[in-house]
């Protein structure tokens, strides 16, 4: 029973959910590593200096912290985006496969219908040949009957007229 329930679980979706859930801890690890990296710190300070205005001036520590936060959010956003794109393509592929399966089913049904029609047509052709043979036999019998019929002799005898009618 448990095996049946597990076999129906969408394993792929569960794995993608796991990847999404793992994105936050991975982002935290990336943020911690970036915070210790001198190169990353220099990049964050340089970026904050490009965006400085009179009202906005970030000290070194805040610039690094903002950069780490942005990196963490970028990791989460990137993982979510990749998962979303993957799910979209997978659903499109599944839809394409369903359509192809439907087309194939229609092709199979059409082929079966054509085969059935061929069989029925062959049976009708055979029946037609039997009827033609029967007609030919009937014509031969009619011709033979006409040939074997005795001709009526007598000059004034007309079929369908009585003798009294002939006398007049």
Q: List the domain boundaries for the chain.
A: 10-106
Nearest to 165 by CA among 35, 157, 38: 157
Q: What is the pLDDT of residue 74?
A: 85
For the stretch 69-78, pLDDT in tens is: 888 888 888 8
3-state secondary structure 75-121: HHHHHHHHHHHHHHHHHHHHHHHHHHHHHHHHHHHHHHHHHHHHHHH
Cα separation, 79 vs 30, whole angstroms: 13
φ/ψ of residue 124, rounded to 5: -65, -40
Q: Do 74 and 23 touch, CB atoms closer than 8 A?
A: no
Sign of CA dihedral 70, 75, 78, 79: negative
pTM of model > 0.75:
no
Q: What is the pLDDT of residue 7?
A: 56
Cα separation, 15 vs 17, whole angstroms: 5
For the stretch 131-164, pLDDT in tens is: 999 999 999 999 999 988 856 555 555 555 554 5
Question: pLDDT-based confidence at 168, cuts 50/70/90?
Answer: very low
Q: Rounded mean pLDDT of 62-86? A: 85
């Amino acid at each position: 029973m448990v095996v049946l329930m597990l076999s129906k679980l969408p394993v792929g979706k569960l794995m993608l959910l796991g990847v999404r859930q793992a994105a936050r801890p991975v982002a935290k690890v990336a943020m911690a590593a970036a915070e210790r990296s001198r190169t990353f710190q220099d990049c964050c300070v340089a970026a904050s200096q490009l965006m400085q205005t009179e009202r906005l001036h970030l000290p070194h520590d805040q610039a690094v912290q903002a950069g780490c936060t942005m990196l963490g959010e970028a990791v989460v956003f990137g993982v979510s985006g990749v998962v979303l794109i993957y799910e979209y393509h997978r659903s499109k592929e599944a839809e394409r496969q369903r359509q192809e399966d439907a087309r194939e089913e229609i092709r199979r049904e059409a082929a079966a219908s054509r085969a059935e029609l061929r069989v029925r047509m062959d049976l009708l052709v055979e029946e037609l040949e039997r009827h033609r043979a029967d007609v030919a036999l009937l014509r031969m019998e009619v011709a033979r009957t006409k040939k074997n019929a005795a001709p009526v002799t007598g000059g004034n005898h007309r079929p369908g007229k009585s003798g009294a009618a002939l006398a007049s």
